[in-house]
Amino acid sequence: MLRFGILSTAKIGRDAVVPAIQDAENCVVTAIASRDSARARAMADRFSVPHAFGSYEEMLASDVIDAVYIPLPTAQHAEWSIRAAEAGKHVLCEKPIALKAQEIDRLIEARDRTGVLISEAYMITYSPVWHKVRALLAEGAIGRLRHVQGAFTYFNRDPANMRNIPELGGGGLPDIGVYPTMATRFSTGVEPQRVQATTERDPTFGTDIYSSVRADFGTFELSFYISTQLAARQVMVFHGDEGVIEVTSPFNAERYGRQEVALTNQNHSQSQLFRFQDTRQYKLQAEAFSRAATGGEDAVVTLENSRANQAFIDAIYRASEKDGWEAV
């Protein structure tokens, strides 16, 4: 059993990842750390976790954990991933693991130097939904893929929320722009070559709140929009010359509707609907990570993959400042 320590009491850990780890077959949460010892103890008691620490450093120095899950504010991800690696702990870090592609070079160096596993927590890459999409594309179910469309939006103007605080790494592209990019790269196995984009920033917060993106992948295009100040929506569509694949609730399972993959043929005379009642993508993520960390051959999100995805996001920011194409 891989023993996890949780670095902070953040909401995503409380609501999604810690319950998933506790439900997993090959790992368990043995410690919670917070800068507030009372909060650490309260969360530990909630999940029957034996150890609570009043500092991150104290937990990293302990021998009661083998790995850490990091759901800290985005701006702190790279720093604490490196500190955890240097303490000899495997690292599962919330996305984005860094705010610039070059920052991930430091993580790669730390991984290679310490010999631990460091992986970015893209739970969608473990979901049977996205493995189904990838399989359909690979078998030519829609013929030649020509265009991918995506949208991911929600409404949040809370000034205290980290997504609206630039110093903490807030903004729409770091928070949700990384999903259409990773989903497209994961399902097709193709990398973007160049990108065009427009981005709008909140006049009060200074964070990016809306982006519209067009990316050239050579054999097909991706167009998507994301926003932190629009009515909630999620969708991904893969359009080929012989059919269409549409994914509903593609990223947050069930929250935006049923998790379904619809395959429709060229003239809409035939349609297949693949329903996924309980993907448990966070549980699958924890189990795959734990097997990989203990010598298994499970595929996890590598830092090289993370760097490529962040380079895509970096290019979107650059393209937003100019007219025309920007190389990825």
- Active-site residue numbers? 95
DSSP result, 8-25:
S--HHIIIIIHHHHHHSS
Nearest-CA neighbor of 5 among 131, 93, 114, 96?
A: 93
Burial 34-62 (b: 16+ CB within 10 A, else e): beeeebbbebbeeeebebbbbebeebbeb
CB 241 within 8 A of CB 167: no
Between CA 163 and CA 65 the distance in angstroms is 30
- CB-hemisphere CA count at 13 Å for 87? 23
Burial 99-133 (b: 16+ CB within 10 A, else e): bebebbeebeebbeebebbbbbbbbbbbbbbbbbb
Token duo for residue 287: 């189990």
- Cα end-to-end distance, the chain, whole Å: 40
Residue type, 148: V
Query: Cβ–Cβ contacts within 10 Å for residue 64, how many?
Result: 12
Q: How, if at all, do strands 229-240 and 145-155 pair?
A: antiparallel
- Structural Rg of the chain based on CA atoms: 20
Q: At what angle do helices 101-114 and 303-319 cross, to 10 degrees?
A: 170
